[in-house]
Chains A and B, each alone.
Chain A
Amino acid sequence: MSEADVIISLRDVTKRFGAFRAVDTVNLAIARNEFFALLGPSGCGKTTLLRMIGGFEGPSEGVIAVDGADMHAVPPNRRPVNMVFQSYAVFPHMTVGENVAYGLKVAGVSKREIPGRVADALRMVKLDGYAGRRSGQLSGGQRQRVALARALVKRPKVLLLDEPLSALDAKLREAMQLELVRLQHETGITFIIVTHDQHEALSMADRIAVMNAGRVQQVASPAELYEHPANRFVAGFIGQINVFEGELAEAGGDSCVVDVGELGRVGVAARGLNGRGGGRVTVAVRPEKIRLDTAPPVDGRIGCAGEVAEIAYYGGASHIFLTTERGTRINANVVNAGRDTQGAVRVGHRFWCTWDAADTFVLPDDPRAGADALSG
């Protein structure tokens, strides 16, 4: 990313509340026109980070710059960013139109210009005709659109969204996801969204920063995060994962060999090894990469035998949980391609869980060290 493309840059940003580090030495560069997500469990510091960009908290250390300008000591009302709050914060004593016009009014936009811009903003969020309503007469989804219009009408350089979909029901949430992506494309404004929902982040964002305990764990595109997670936390937080303990046998170059008890010696890409040359590592595979076979793996496939312990049926797919002889639990996702296919797998049946060796990834974490704390 070239210097000119960066709209928001965070350099060594730390926020301390007493002895607690809510945000710990975060470095990020967010590009113009990007749909960027801050993803992490509650308390990971993502909202604090967003509030620091908005100007509602000051960093204890580090520099926050918006479009090249240092935001130190710049109050929220002077920053070229706008925010959609989690509670939407629609002003209850104003109509929808007055809400949207408020930001223009206090900015001193001429009285002749305001009505047109308000109407444009309301049209953009599909609320034309609602200008006279009060927030008490609106549904949650409509209130959120008001909050969006109110922020977008200011034509900010960056729009900050704090858990914008968490208060909506499932159907509406899905519709709003598409809506937000459309708005981002139409306006060309950089969106930064905070969410704890991996599906939201994966489906909407161009890039995602996964955070935990105040630190950024990985910044990458959704597919990169899912298929090449940087560590055990990211692998466990996004999607589901099957993990095996392994001992690094050979390392060097692009590939390595890991000794995994149940799988034997496995050759995998060394990409996720993070420079480690030996010791205990984690070997992992995603559940949908696993196939249930009646015969042992051949032709570049690896795997192990297990007995079906539980079946969770989800309609389109089933999650089959198997237990290996060593007691490892394996989760295999099976698509119910035909109407009767799920009948072939019953609790107590024995299968070979096999997958393409290339789908295996290796993580630098010691599988015994704080695995529970990390698995999110």
Chain B
Amino acid sequence: MTASSLEAERAPAAARRPGRARRVARALGRGEEARGPLDYARSWWLRGFAAAVFLALYAPIAMLIVFSFNDSRRNIVWQGFTTDYYVKAWNNAELIQAFVNSLTIAATSTLVSTILGTCAALVLWRFRFPGRPLYEGLTSLPIVIPEICMGVAMMAFFNRIGWPTDLGWPWVLGNITIAHIAFSFPFVAIVVRARLVGFNRELEEAARDLGASEWQVLRDIVLPYLKPGLIAGAMIAFVLSLDDFVITFFTAGPNSVTLPIKIFSMIRFGVTPEINAASTILILITVAATVVGVAMQRPGHDPGKE
């Protein structure tokens, strides 16, 4: 079909659909073409839907932060601005201790689960061995097991082996940390594994060819390539550990209370702005960790890009 005959067919079609079609055509700025899937972002109802999603996601969080500055004990009606509850939270020794516990557990668990997860991913990627599919399945099992079951199992396990409950700080956090490592390292393994899929094996062979030993290849070629995956995995592990409630609840003792558990126990005596303040701080730390993680993977410096 020639160009002119195409034009001739198109013209009456446009005449039949005035109004809306013309508006869309004008919005797209390029005549009578069918809209592609991404063009739908320009329609009003999709924008409205997106706005609704954002509202549902962020309005509660915004409310939480706003009401942390509410000058009211009951914290139901806005009474006026104050930062008193931040000061109060800061002076709440138990809250601060819970906070320190949470950060200690999260830091340790992140470090260990990143190393373990990376090792698991490397083993599963690099080697063929009997029972490998089984091993792979078992590695990711903690991701699919309901958290409540995992919590109960952890509690039973530590009881069974007679984990001492009278340890001093920070050893008293040991069982929680072990439980956190157990459920976060599979996430690291999955993220690192996904990154390894795109790895060009010739890079490894080239390094070997140039005289590098297997360990030098791992240090100089594979790990730098994995860096974005390692950071992403570590961030996931950190956030998972920091806000875990269920599993921690079953493994925590009276001397190893974490921030989520402390907040939960405070809520039983009424929702005060102090809780909002503590939650706000938790959100800030999480956001800050994410920003740092994203900044460390600056675009344009992807070590995987050839």
Contact = CB atoms under 8 A, between A and B. Distances in A.
Interface stretch (B58-66, B121-129, B198-206): B198-206
Given A89-B200, A136-B306, A107 B205 contact: no
A86 interface: yes
Contact of A76 (B200, B203, B208): B208
A85 B205 contact: yes
A56 interface: yes
Contact of A150 (B202, B210, B224, B227): B210
Contact of A77 (B203, B209, B302, B304): B209
Contacts of B220: 102, 106
Interface in A129-177: 135-136, 143, 147, 150-151, 154
A239 to B, nearest CB: 32
Interface stretch (B33-41, B74-82, B150-158, B211-219): B211-219
A91 interface: yes
A92 B206 contact: no
Contacts of A273: none
B306 A90 contact: yes
Contacts of B200: 87, 89
Contact of A89 (B206, B212, B213, B224): B206
A54 B209 contact: yes
Contacts of B115: none
B170 interface: no
A93 B303 contact: yes
Given A135-B306, A136-B305, A89 B211 contact: no
B187 interface: no
Interface in A91-107: 91-93, 102-103, 106-107
A77 B206 contact: no
Which of B221, B302, B304 lies at the interface centre, i.e. has the most chain A CB atoms within 10 A of its CB? Answer: B221
A83 interface: yes
B209 A92 contact: no
A93 B225 contact: yes
Nearest to B300: A136
A198 B209 CA distance: 27
Contacts of B206: 83, 85, 89, 91, 147, 150
A190 interface: no
A154 B306 contact: no
Contact of A103 (B203, B210, B302, B305): B210
B224 A93 contact: yes
Contact of B209 (A82, A86, A93, A135): A82
A75 interface: yes
Contacts of B143: none
B306 A77 contact: no
B207 interface: yes
B202 A77 contact: no
Which of A83, A93, A136 lies at the interface centre, i.e. has the most chain B CB atoms within 10 A of its CB? Answer: A93
Contacts of A151: 209-210
A78 B211 CA distance: 6
Nearest to B225: A93
Contact of B304 (A75, A78, A90, A92): A92
A107 B211 contact: yes
B45 to A, nearest CB: 41
Contact of B211 (A54, A56, A92, A154): A154
Contacts of B212: 77, 102, 106
A253 to B, nearest CB: 51
A154 B31 CA distance: 61
Nearest to A87: B202
Nearest to A93: B303
Nearest to A103: B210
A90 B209 CA distance: 13
A77 B205 contact: no
Given A89-B203, A106-B211, A135-B306, 6 more contacts: A76-B205, A76-B209, A83-B209, A87-B306, A143-B306, A150-B210
16 contacts: A54-B209, A55-B208, A76-B205, A83-B206, A87-B202, A91-B206, A92-B305, A93-B225, A93-B303, A103-B210, A106-B216, A107-B211, A136-B305, A136-B306, A150-B210, A154-B211
Interface of B: 200, 202-203, 205-213, 216, 220-221, 224-225, 227, 302-306
Which 6 pairs show the lowest CB-CB distances between chains A and B?
Answer: A103-B210, A93-B303, A89-B206, A89-B202, A93-B224, A85-B202
